[in-house]
Structure 1
Amino acid sequence: MQRIDTTYQVLYSELAQRTLDASFTSDFPIDGRFITMESRGRRYWYFDTAKEGGGKNRRYVGPVDDEDITRRVENFKDLKSDARARRKIVSTLVREAYLPRPEALVGEIVQTLATAGFFRLRGVLVGTVAFQCYPALLGVRLPNIALQTADADFAQFHSISVAVGDALPPVLDLLRKVDPTFREVPHQADSRKSTKFTNRSGYAVEFLTPNLGSVDNGNRPAPMPALGGASAQPLRFLDFLIHQPVRAVMLHAAGIPVLVPTPERYAIHKLIVGSRRRIDADGTGKSRKDRLQSRTLMEAMLGSRQGDALADAYMEAWDRGNAWKEAITESMRSYEESTRVLLRVQLAEAVASLGAKPKDYGLS
């Protein structure tokens, strides 16, 4: 895979810094103030503004121990918007570094949810739209075929949705600002709730949450207080994917600051779910795409001195039980022999470098 020139990697880092700074200037008016509150032994930032007629509006900001957020809180009054300069940086990264830009509709959807506070409320962008952020994060160009998508997936832990004490405006209203033809899709298990929204052309926006209970819970939509009236579809293995997400920038307009899974967790998660597509008519096609994205990221990370992070995620998943081991093994078997052998050899080397025995992780 071709490396992205260091100049453009530095430019991307500058854009990431500026977009997060700019999100603070738009999210929090200068006449408000930040306060801290404690919940379950951990401190969080909130932002207070005065209500008309008295009282206060209070909005969740993020954990105090998140250094990036706390630094911006402390420097809040000095932050200034520079959208024009950021647009030029985005254009340069797309035009000269050949980094992927989302389709206009996708960019507008993510921008609208970001502005409304989805990522501030610790939501995570997942699926192929998130995958499009990895070339810049990893500093490599990825195959275009792995970047194509017809939907956008957004995830949040149920416990976070309950705990933050804040919420998006009605999600359907937000989506209709982008495209008036968006509508709710009633959930099959409970038609009063919706986890998915589609427009006239069939583009889907879906909200997901980890299924941490029984398998049966995956059939029922989960109420999500922070998601503006939307529920979320519980999915197995999703807790592994969205644990400790990282910041990235979607290259749309002046840049959109988002949270995405770490590339190593995304790669291993796709390895797992790629063997478990069973229900929908397009399951085979989705399985192929899952495995392609997993292989692409694993090759990129193992080939660019990021193998330790990948090996660590691989071992964590392997140690979670037989269902996880079987899913990983089945997907690995699906690759061509030359690809499978190379991945196993490089993973074994990375596992050994972390002080573990490759044979304990199916890599003998």
Structure 2
Amino acid sequence: MKQIDLVYQTMLAELGQRSLDAAWTADFPPEGRFTPVTVKGRKYWYFDIPDGQGGKTRRYVGPADDQDIAQRVETHKREKDDLRARRRMVSSLTREGGMIAPDSMSGDVIEALAAGGLFRLRGVLIGTVAFQTYSGILGVRLPMAAILTGDADVAQDYAVSSEVDDSLPPILELVQSVDPTFRPVPHRSGAAASSAFVNGSGYRVEFLTTNRGSDDYLDQPAKMPALGGASADPLRFLDFLIRDPVRTMLLHKSGVPVTVPDPSRYAVHKLIVASRRQYGGQGSVKRSKDIRQAALLFEALQQTRRTSDLALVYNEAWERGHTWQEGIRAGAGMLTDEDRNRLGDCLRAGAMQIGEDITMPF
């Protein structure tokens, strides 16, 4: 597995800081522009924003001789210059640095959700779109075959959604701003609430949350006050996955700041999830992808000397009891001999570093 040059890892960190610094532009987004308009001999500033249909919407800003407004206009010009610079950075990171950009639909959907406040409200991007960011986090090149996807999965802890006293705009409106063909997917339980949305080409956006108790909750959508009218499907083991998430960048357009699971947690979680997939059809396809992604992360964690991180979260999962141990064992049994040996080497090296015993899953 080839490492990414340090200059590109440094560039990713700079891109992340610049993108966070630019977050104030919500009122005057970079795709718009300030336009001077003279009315009855006096000059005023307006702000034009493309409406996506070849036209524009115009927003009144204020008189041109207002010094505060003049400063905002000048700042916006600098921000647009920085936007172009960030776009060039994203292009360099993906084309030359070996990091991974999402497909355009995934990027646009996550960008819209991020602008709506998803990550501010402690949402976590999970699944393959999150996996795509690990190339930058770990500083290694990941093969494209392991990252292809046709959906976006987002998680939010149930308690967080209930307690933040804030909400995204309506989720349906956010995804329809990307593609008007998005529609709610009827829930399998027959409940009126929807936890997933799909567009005309079959691209799916799904919301998941932590399971609050017995498996009786798993077939019922959970009401999520912070998710803009969307519900979420409770999922076992999800609390482990989204605990202590990390911030990074989705390399789309000028960069989208996102929050994703820690890669060590993602790898262990994938072993467990793979063991619970149904055989046949899409279940088998997803299981193969789960195991492939877990194996790639074990290799990357070993190569980047992060085996202590893996050992810590592995022990945390193992100590949760028989069901967790059974899932880890079954998932590890699906690895190739080479990948299984690598996992064992990682755990032994990590155990020595953290000073804890490790029970091997094989």
Output one character per residue of 1:218-270: Cα deviation in whole Å (capped at 9) or x when no partner: 11000001111100000000000001111010011110000000111111110
2:203 is equivalent to residue 179 of structure 1: no
Tell me how far apart the structure 1 counterparts of residues 333 and 361 of structure 2 sit (CA, whole Å).
12
Q: Which residue of 2 aligns with 1:199?
A: 199
CA contact (8 A) 2:298 2:342 kept: no
- Give the direction of change, closer, same or farther, for the CA distance of 1:280–1:24 in structure 2 (3 Å limit): farther
**TM-score, structure 1 as length reference:** 0.83
> Matched residue of 1:18: which SS?
helix
Unpaired segments of 5 or more residues in structure 1? 30-77
CA contact (8 A) 2:329 2:361 kept: no
**Structure ID, larger Rg:** 2
Tell me how far apart the structure 2 counterparts of residues 157 and 181 of structure 1 sit (CA, whole Å).
28
- Give the direction of change, closer, same or farther, for the CA distance of 1:138–1:201 in structure 2 (3 Å limit): same
Shift of 1:28: 10
Shift of 1:342: 2.7
Output one character per residue of 1:2-27: Cα deviation in whole Å (capped at 9) or x when no partner: 00000101001100111111124437
Would you identify which runs of 4 or more consecutive aligned residues in structure 1 move more than 3 Å? 78-81
Q: Which residue of 2 aligns with 1:362?
A: 360
Q: Percent identity?
A: 50
Q: Which residue of 2 aligns with 1:331?
A: 331
Tell me how far apart the structure 2 counterparts of residues 272 and 27 of structure 1 sit (CA, whole Å).
43
Tell me how far apart the structure 2 counterparts of residues 27 and 353 of structure 1 sit (CA, whole Å).
49
Tell me how far apart the structure 2 counterparts of residues 160 and 352 of structure 1 sit (CA, whole Å).
36
CA contact (8 A) 1:23 1:257 kept: no
Shift of 1:184: 0.4
Shift of 1:363: 5.9
Tell me how far apart the structure 1 counterparts of residues 121 and 107 of structure 2 sit (CA, whole Å).
19
Q: Which residue of 2 aligns with 1:291?
A: 291
Q: Which residue of 2 aligns with 1:243?
A: 243
**TM-score, structure 2 as length reference:** 0.83
Shift of 1:280: 8.1
Tell me how far apart the structure 2 counterparts of residues 245 and 295 of structure 1 sit (CA, whole Å).
20
Q: Which residue of 1 aligns with 2:7?
A: 7
Tell me how far apart the structure 1 counterparts of residues 281 and 323 of structure 2 sit (CA, whole Å).
23
> Matched residue of 1:220: which SS?
coil
Tell me how far apart the structure 1 counterparts of residues 280 and 223 of structure 2 sit (CA, whole Å).
24
Q: Which residue of 2 aligns with 1:131?
A: 131
Unpaired segments of 5 or more residues in structure 2? 30-74
Question: How many aligned residue pairs are there?
Answer: 314
Output one character per residue of 1:258-316: Cα deviation in whole Å (capped at 9) or x when no partner: 00001111111101101111288411111111111111111100121111111111111
Shift of 1:189: 1.1
> Matched residue of 2:259: which SS?
strand
CA contact (8 A) 1:161 1:224 kept: yes
> Matched residue of 1:233: which SS?
strand
- Give the direction of change, closer, same or farther, for the CA distance of 1:267–1:27 in structure 2 (3 Å limit): farther
- Give the direction of change, closer, same or farther, for the CA distance of 1:118–1:28 in structure 2 (3 Å limit): farther
Tell me how far apart the structure 2 counterparts of residues 7 and 17 of structure 1 sit (CA, whole Å).
16
CA contact (8 A) 2:328 2:361 kept: no
> Matched residue of 2:299: which SS?
helix
Q: Which residue of 1 aligns with 2:314?
A: 314
Q: Which residue of 2 aligns with 1:148?
A: 148
Q: Which residue of 1 aligns with 2:109?
A: 109
- Give the direction of change, closer, same or farther, for the CA distance of 1:19–1:239 in structure 2 (3 Å limit): same
Q: Look up the equivalent residue of 2:127 and give its one-letter code.
A: G
Instruction: Write the mapping of 1:152-231 to structure 2, written as runs, cut at 5 A.
Output: 152-231=152-231
Tell me how far apart the structure 1 counterparts of residues 159 and 148 of structure 2 sit (CA, whole Å).
31
2:293 is equivalent to residue 261 of structure 1: no
Tell me how far apart the structure 2 counterparts of residues 259 and 201 of structure 1 sit (CA, whole Å).
27
Output one character per residue of 1:181-206: Cα deviation in whole Å (capped at 9) or x when no partner: 10001111133110010001100000
